[in-house]
Structure formats: C-alpha cells, structure tokens
Amino acid sequence: MARGRLVVLEGPDGAGKTTQVRRLVDWLRSRGGDVVSVREPGGTALGDEIRRLLLDPASDIVPSAEALLYMASRAQLVTCEIEPALARGAVAIIDRFFLATYAYQGAGRGLPEDDLRAANRLATKGIIPDLTILLSMSREEGLARAKARGGHDRMEQADAAFHDRVASAYESFMSPGWARAHPECGPIVLVDARGSEADVFARIVEALHSRWPESFPENSS
C-alpha cells in the first residue's frame, strides 16, 4: 500500500485556517477519501490535556516549558494518529504543525531555532509534511480579523508585541528562500487568504491539484 500524504494548513491569526481545514476534510470525505483530521496541540487524550494547560489563562508556563509541552503533544500525535494514517495510505490533515512552533515559540517567545529544530526532530521522528498550505494575509488584516473574532485563551492574551513578532514570522515564511533554508518544514505553497471562504477554498483545491493531479480533482464544488 502506498504511503499516505501529510498536509498541513498554516497561517497567521485571522487567516481562516480552521474554517478551511473543516471544508477540506468534508470535501475529501464526500469523495470517499480516507482522511484523518487533527489539530495542534491536541488530537489525542494526552494532547487534549496539554492543550487545556497551554491555553488556560491561569497557567503560568515559561517559554521553554511551553515549547516542550507542544512537542510532547506532537510526539503523541505523530505516533498515535499520523503514522498509522500514513501507513494505511490515508490523507492526514493537520491544523498547524512545525511552522507554528517557529512562529510562536521561536519568533514570539524568542527561543533558539536550533533548539526547536532538535526537539521537533525527536517529536516527529523525522516525519516531514508532504505539503504545507500557508494562508497568506497582511499582518493588519489578519490581526483585525482575529480581534473582531475575539479570544481569551492564554496565547491570545499575549501582548501586542508578541503577536507582532508572530505575524512578522509568518510573513518571512512566505519567502521561497526561507522555505529552502528550512527543509524540515517540507514544501510550502502560498494561498491568498483574502476573499470569501469559497474563493479561498477553491485556491486550496487548486494548490492540491497542481501538486497531485492524479489524486485531487480540479473542481472544489
């Protein structure tokens, strides 16, 4: 049986990532696809408990502990969900993965890239996404959307300077040069996150069809 595919949806706050993950999973399943949909942190009993701790506004977590908690959730997710899905030939769709670590714990918290890379290698056992779809949006529009949506979890309550650093990091990830310098993140394709949900979804399907025309039809309807 052929190995499945690992597809990540990423993007700054307000880009509509979670909505598009849901649309993509529903679309693939409606066509008979074997799809596993998970999110970070979470996706397992351990991961869900870690998520609760990480997002609880009452949690007092230092940056290094925060990064390691994300990695612990990722390690459990990879072993218990992602590896079995890929082994049986399924498509695994992840809402955030290692790019988010570089954005939030690297740029946001100021942790060294090399340390994050080493910890991620342990957590993922070297698994690299087959494709990361990075939803691109201006920092101003993304932050405005996120603010309008509201949010009160621990990460969302970080100060404006933290969110500015995260947004700047995602802008840097949109550079082909950055992607080439970070092969551990796998291939990254940019998708314009502006416009209606249907417009953005059509662009995501087009990106998947361009990479795997034999597996993903062109029509997103």
Mean pLDDT, consecutive 10-residue segments, the chain of 221 residues? 90 87 96 94 96 92 97 98 97 96 97 97 96 86 68 79 90 90 94 94 96 84 71
CA angle, residues 79, 80, 83, in degrees to nearest 5: 55
Question: Which stretches does DSSP call E strand in 96-144?
Answer: 131-136
Domain positions in the chain = 5-211
5-211 — its CATH code? 3.40.50.300
pTM here is 0.91
pLDDT given at position 217? 80
Answer yes or no: are the C-beta atoms of 168 and 133 closer than 8 Å.
Answer: no
The pLDDT value given to residue 151? 62
Question: What is the C-alpha to C-alpha distance for residues 86 and 6, in angstroms, rounded to an integer?
Answer: 7
Q: How far apart are CA 166 and CA 96, in angstroms?
A: 14
Beta carbons within 8 Å of 54's beta carbon, 6+ residues apart? 41, 61, 66, 69, 70, 154, 155
pLDDT at position 146 is 65
